[in-house]
Chains A and B, each alone.
Chain A
Amino acid sequence: MKRMKGTEIFVECLRREGVEVIFGHPGGAILPIYDRLYDAEIRHILMRHEQAAAHAADGYARASGRVGVAMATSGPGATNLVTGIASAFMDSVPMVVFTGQVPSTLIGTDAFQEADVVGITRPCTKHNYLVLRTEDLARTIREAFYLARTGRPGPVLVDLPKDIQLSECEFEYPEQVHLRGYRPVLDGDREAIRRAAVAILEAERPVIYAGGGVIASDGAEELRRLAEIGRIPVATTLMGLGGFPTEHPLSLGMLGMHGSWYANTAISRCDLLIALGVRFDDRVTGKLSEFAPTARKIHVDIDPAEINKNVRVDIPIVGDVRRVLSVLNAEMEGLVSTHGTAAWVRKRQQWLAQIAEWKRTYPFRYEYDERVIKPQWVIEEIARITQGEAILTTDVGQHQMWAAQYYRFKHPRTWITSGGLGAMGFGLPAAIGAWFARRDRPVIAICGDGSFQMTMQELAVVAEHRIPVKVVILNNFFLGMVRQWQQIFYNGRYAASDLRVSPDYAKIAEAYGLRGHTVRRPEELVGLLEQTLLASEPVILDVQVAAEENVYPMVPPGAAITEMILGPLETTAVADSKESIA
């Protein structure tokens, strides 16, 4: 055994966890660790605001599937992290967050930059620790990483008083983690899986409802197998985008409040709902009593607390989505070989034909306009240029929904968005984090003008490391989603949603030493977009889009998901088809 200082133990434990990069911001109470990092191999990226450090660690974790690490000082440094931690918690992102704390002798004295950080973050972390003895440091860090990445992933915070960082103790690395209150169940119950396979075999109108659990468990391949073996259409949640290719014939795209007409309609008419790694969120289900009302329900989730939380299900299976699907698929293949595929195919044919017709008749639609740039068109062009090979991060609002609707997703871990918490300002820092995880893919931050202003100081990080992210701002000079709600639900009274006084984003880029362009006319868009996305350096593109465009379809909050408000073109399509039926 070797005597080591707290800061040395910290670096050694992170090295053993395979940490390559930390996103952080220094300050007094964490300075001993920063001083140690100065000579360490682990890279530290100085973010310009702690919120961005947490979002960057989140983006890194989601793009790589590994644990993201964020760090800040005590007090305000730690409180600034909270939004990013809460977002990671809602979206089950594996993260370990380190905060400096005032020396343990000063805790509770209202010392300078003191805050009760374990108290503040208790409801938005999977677990958290205040380390009060240097002897506990190695074990705590080991547990923190273990908790963050296993079971249902989530952020874990470790609060480090300054004296704990500075004291010495005998260092012994704990090879084993022993937590008697923590036993995640990974393998689903065999009997329940068998029942699920039979239910799928018996169903005439099954639909898969796939969420973030598919991505988190690296289960996209197994999902595709299940859909293809069972000939089952797949609707994904916002968090599940990328878990199933948009262009697959069985894809229904996104469901929910701004989901496709055909996904929401298929869910409402299905006789079997196969929910995979989802939590029946209100933005997905709308009015609960009318969500898949006639369906039997299978629910696979790693977190037992999600089972029967919002919706009672018939076949609950607690386990890791990928592992459960791999057993289920084997079971299905067995059933297919015993019973043959002919009957099966016949059974599904009508349902699949119906869905194919819905997809043809009611796709996502908008009115193209040659005088003004439609935001949906920008996303379509990004999808065309990147061929679905880019990593997209977003902020929160209309642009986020348009990106979800109009991008053509191909791969898991290429869609990174603040889904549950809906934290504006997520896009740029998450893109920075994603780039450190995956240098082989282009990274595009699709931002709203409102959201971008919340974290645009991170352009300094882009400039410092010449990170070749592309920022595409869908700029409508409004808090667009707020304005849309005000238009629809508040008689068009645009209270505090007007952003007409905004900076010139191209000049902001320039001020940071970056390239920036403004696109105002439709005829400029394609050229500038191609030039931007193919550039080898960072570019900020301010695309000034139709100011009062709305996201459709839209399910009003609390309504059934079939009660969609449609856009002008979609309304015409639905009316036409009703006429033709009549």
Chain B
Amino acid sequence: MSTNTAVRTKKSDEDKKLAFKKALSTAIPYLGLLILIVLFQILTGNFLTASNLEAIFDQGFTLLIASMAGVFVMATGNLDFSLGANAGFCCVCATLAATYIHPIASIPVAIIVGLIVGMVNGFAQTVLRLPSFIACLCMMFILTAATQSLITGSSIMMPVSMMFWETFARKLIFGIIYMAVMIVMFKYTRVGKELKTLGVSPEAARQSGVNVKKRIFLAYAITGLAAGIAGFWFMLRTGGAATTTGQTTTSDVIIAVVFGGMSVSGGASSKISAAILGTLIVTVLNNGMVMAGFGGDPQQLVKGLLFLLVIAVSTKRDPNVIIK
């Protein structure tokens, strides 16, 4: 009898520990963001001004687009390494379309190119059965080379008339619609749930009736589409395309999603909110550190240490490999 009680007590303690750890890993990103905002407001005195919040919105906008889509692939336990290169390539195509066809043509061109690239990634994995890591890496090299060959010099410029396309109101409206679509798709449709199931175990998902190939293909198509959209907004923000456009997007997406509290191994704990929260954290951190006068080497050091801390707290310690 006493042995049973002892076992129950031990189990209860373990449950409490697990619950605490889960609550901690959930709360850390929110707490982190709050601490950062308060800290930067104290350090700078003008962090929460209207103009700075608008700057943060501008800076985080394309990252938000990319990272929300990135969650769809990351939920399956994979990473789309070609996301940034795809966004850069779409940016180049959009700029060329705007210059040589018509400014309006840049929108469908960016979206279609991005989508095609995403579908090719999905095709390579589901039909050709190439490992995700290899397929995306190859695509990244191809797109980087294509971008460099399409750009003469270090950058190409979009038509000057498009400089005024990027307004706060347009970005805001688009952002709201985009977020709503992505949240609904990931949280309230079968797509999100099945992608998370795939992240836990593709075999279990298959036996549960999930069309694995179809879902993986769809995840990469969504990411590709988002890369196209991000590429279009990159063009408007940077005034054209450069060989460096999108260069850091893939790593920024991973950092943002992890900062937002999602494990890179995907699975059941995957959440679309991690992309929103993580984008906010990364952007606030970049902006606040420069405003506070720590824009040199300390910026990288602090980001590195924080990233390490978040990874340490959020990563599942199981035998699953990060990249499948």
A, B bound = no
Q: Name B residues whose Cβ lies closer than 8 Å to a Cβ of A.
A: none
